[in-house]
Amino acid sequence: MKKPLSVAPRALELGRQVLDIEAAAVRALSIRLDDTFVAALDVILRCDGRVIVSGMGKSGHIARKIAATMSSTGTPAYFVHPGEASHGDLGMVAGEDVFIALSYSGESQELMAIVPIVKRLGAKLISMTGNPASSLAKVSDVHLNAAVDKEACPMGLAPTASTTASLALGDALAVALLDAKGFNAENFARSHPGGSLGRRLLTLVGDLMRVGERIPKVREDAMLGAALMEMSRKGVGMTAIVDENDTVQGIYTDGDLRRTLEKKLDFSATPVRGVMSANPHCIGPDSLAAEAVQLMEQYNINQMLVVNGQHQLVGALSMHDLLHAKVI
């Protein structure tokens, strides 16, 4: 059933109000951030085990997201449901771990039921609440104040601004840990191998290049006709020109062919070295495939020769190879 159009102005007003309230909550949290944040960071950095994040209800959903973000940014973490923890899952917690408990009231019965056992195990306890005087805050090794002035819910009942603030505070912790550990884009890609970022940051030229008989190449004393035959057989749109040691002397591409046709040369009597492009752009097999993409785009070329440290030909790479591998 369609809603009457009369709700539109009210809906827009309420939507903007919610976003303003939640944005203000995060800004206030930023201003209030103090040395307790650094203390929490230090506790986690000194942790010899893993980080366990827990919370009930909406706080549980935020806790699960915080654990996922930490895990993907270099801090092994997992979520434990406090209710399930009371029925056996607390066995996943060890004395060398750090336990992060989320409860806006700081009085969640399910959390408070397991906190004494967490403390008895010797695990460090970091709490994130909206009440520094709460039971949970008082027994914590470090308490992070995630209080908000008000919820974005018009009735002030549904957790909205408070969950946004807690999520933002968790993200702040994860990013600060990332920076402190020197976690970089390559590390990130290793935990995301199935995504496009992983392909860009983990795939090497050597993984994609054409090798052996698939490499188009002719000797520098070959005639132009032989070079064209090699280009046709290998289907890469170019051929490498090499000396007797396979050292690259030049490249002959489809573009060179178009320019040669304009000169109306005798293909059977013209040495390819006379019409090749000398000093072609080359890349090493241990370079990232993403670097090859960057160079091809920079120099407006569709193929690259792959060479070793002695500038000997070891492979060939085309834009089609990179597209097929979904590097671009």
Least confident of 80-89, 230-239, 266-275: 80-89
- Predicted local confidence at residue 264, as pLDDT: 82
Chain centroid offset of residue 33 CA? 27
Tell me which H or E stretch contains 7. Answer: helix 7-32
Q: What CATH number has the domain spanning 205-324?
A: 3.10.580.10
Contact 192, 198 (CB under 8 A): yes
What fold characterizes domain 7-183?
A: Rossmann fold (3.40.50)
- Predicted local confidence at residue 327, as pLDDT: 72
Percent of the chain with pLDDT over 90: 63
Tally of residues, the chain: 328
- Predicted local confidence at residue 155, as pLDDT: 75
| Strands, sheet with 142-145, edge to edge from the N-terminal-most edge strand | 77-79, 51-55, 98-102, 124-129, 142-145
The one-letter amino acid code at 64 reads R
Mean pLDDT, residues 41-51 taken together: 92
Q: Is-above-0.75 flag for pTM?
A: no
Percent of the chain with pLDDT over 70: 91
From-to residues of CATH 3.40.50.10490 in the chain: 7-183
How far, in Å, CA of 43 to CA of 99, rounded? 10
The residue among 214, 303, 207 whose CA lies nearest residue 252 is: 303
- Predicted local confidence at residue 189, as pLDDT: 55
- Predicted local confidence at residue 154, as pLDDT: 77
Buried b (16+ CB within 10 A) or exposed e, 143-171: bbbbebeebbeeeeeebbbbbbbbbbbbb
From-to residues of CATH 3.10.580.10 in the chain: 205-324
Contact 188, 69 (CB under 8 A): no
Least confident of 152-161, 185-194, 201-210, 249-258: 185-194
The one-letter amino acid code at 319 reads M
Q: How far is CA 167 from CA 97, 159, 161, in A?
A: 21, 12, 10
**Would you place residue 203 in the very low, low, confident or very high pLDDT band (cuts 50, 70, 90)?**
confident
Q: Looking at beta carbons, which pairs linking 36-40 to residues 24 or more positions away fall under 8 Å?
A: 36/142, 36/143, 36/144, 36/145, 37/144, 37/172, 37/173, 37/176, 39/142, 40/126, 40/142, 40/144, 40/173
- Predicted local confidence at residue 190, as pLDDT: 56
Q: Is the pLDDT of residue 195 over 90?
A: no
DSSP state of 226: H
Q: Is the pLDDT of residue 13 over 90?
A: no
The residue among 326, 243, 248 whose CA lies nearest residue 284 is: 248
Q: pLDDT tens across 243-286, in order?
A: 999 999 999 998 888 888 888 888 888 999 999 999 999 999 99
Give the N- to C-terminal CA distance of the chain in Å, as an integer: 44
**Would you place residue 187 in the very low, low, confident or very high pLDDT band (cuts 50, 70, 90)?**
low
Question: Can you count the helices (H) and strands (E) in the chain?
Answer: 14, 12
- Predicted local confidence at residue 11, as pLDDT: 86
